[in-house]
Amino acid sequence: MYGARTVQIADPRRAIAVRGSSCAPSLRECDAAGVGGQFMANVNTLPNLQALPSSPSSAQTLPSEAVLDALKMMLIGASLNEVLTSVTRLIEAHSEGMLCSIFLLDEDGLHLRYGVAPNLPQPYLAAIDGTCIGPNVGSCGAAAYLQPVFVSHILSHPNWANFRSVVLPNGLRAAWSTPIMSHDGKVLGTFCMYYREVRHPETHDIQLIDYASRIAGIAIERDRSRSALTLAFENVQKSEAQLRQIVDAIHQGIVILDPEGTILYANQWLLDYTGLRLEEAIAPNLRTRIFHSEDVARVQDERRDALSRGLPFENEQRALGKDGKYRWFLILYNPCATNMEALFAGM
C-alpha cells in the first residue's frame, strides 16, 4: 500500500566505526551485523544528500533571532537540558504535528539515552531509552550507527519490527532521524522528527533537521567541555589537598614562594614552630618577623638574585620559635614548576 524506494545516501563524513555488542535480542535489540559500503535508507523519493541545495526553502529557514536565543542560552550557562529543549521547540514550531526528540549516545558508544523530547509520550520514551544502536534498529538507533535514516511509514518498515508494540498505542507513524556529530566527526547523539501520519521528507525538511542537529551538537560539546573542565579543576584541587597533607606530615619547614619571593604556602611544621597562623605566615612581613635582623640584611641581595634567575641556592639563617628563642637553620631553595620551594633543615 505504501511504496518505498531505496535511495543511497552518500555522505562519507557520517561514516563511523562501531564496536560489537552483547545486547540480548529484545525490544532494545542490537543488530551488530557488519555493514559494507554505504548505508541504504528506505525512503520515498528522497534525493541524494550530496545533491541538496546549499540554501533551504524560505518556509523552513530558521529565524536568526531564535537561533541567537539558543546560542545566548549556552553563553549564559543554561543547563544542557534547557538548551536542547529550546532547540526542539524551535524546530517543532516549523511544522504542525511535528514531535522532536534528542537522544544522547552513552559513554559506551553503544546505547542511546533519553535527552529531551518535550511532546513525545512518556511511555514511548521510557520504552526506547537505552536502545542499542545498529544498522537496522529503528530510526535513531540506525542513525547513530551510521548516517541519516528517514522512515516514512514506521509500521511497514523492517527497522521498526521490534518496536511496533510501543509505536502503535502511541500513534507514531513517521520518524526521520540524523546523527548529531561533534566537530571531529564523532557521534554525540541523534535528532529525530516524528509525525502521527505517514509522511515523506522533502528537501527543506532534511535541511531543517540538519540545522537542528548542528545547533544541538554545539550545545552538547560546550556542555561536555565545561563538565570536563570542572572535573579537571576538581581533580587539581583534590591533588593539591593531598599534596598539602603529605607536605604537612614532613617534619621540616617547607615554604612555597612565587618568582618574586612572595610566600604562597607554609606547611604545618613551620606554623607549629613559629606559632603563627597560615594567614600570618604568608604575610609580606614574615621574613622580618621570624628571621634575625642581621641575617635578613646579610642574605637579602643573594636571595633576590637567585630567585630572579630561578636557580637553586641555600643560606643559613636564625629563625625565631614560638618559645622566643632563635635557632640556626640551613635553608635550601629549589625551583618547582613556576614557583620556588624553601626547605628549612635544622642545624
Q: Count of CB atoms within 10 A of residue 46's CB? A: 24
Q: Which residues pair with 193 in a beta bridge?
A: 100, 176
Q: What's the CATH number where 254 sits?
A: 3.30.450.20
List the grid coordinates of 87: 532547540
Q: What is the largest CA-CA distance in the chain?
A: 102
What pLDDT score does 338 carry? 58
Whole domain around residue 128: which residue ranges?
5-230
Kindly report, residue by residue over 105-156, the tens digit of the pLDDT. Answer: 998 999 999 999 999 999 999 999 999 999 999 999 999 987 899 999 999 9
The better pLDDT of the pair 2, 332 is held by 332
pLDDT tops 70 at residue 7: no
Kindly report, residue by residue over 191-205, the tens digit of the pLDDT. Answer: 999 999 999 999 889
DSSP H or E stretch at residue 101: strand 99-105
Least confident stretch, 16-30, 248-262, 316-330: 16-30
* Same-domain status, 280 and 175: no
* Helical ranges in the chain per DSSP H: 64-75, 80-92, 122-128, 140-145, 164-170, 203-249, 268-274, 278-281, 286-290, 293-309
Contacts of 183 (CB under 8 A, 6+ apart): 217, 221
Candidates 250, 309, 257; CA nearest to 287 is 257
List the grid coordinates of 161: 519490527
pTM of the model: 0.55
* Same-domain status, 81 and 206: yes
If one counts the domains in the chain, the total is 2
* Same-domain status, 88 and 168: yes
SS3 assignment, position 228: helix
* Same-domain status, 181 and 309: no
Kindly report, residue by residue over 151-171, the tens digit of the pLDDT. Answer: 999 999 999 999 999 999 999
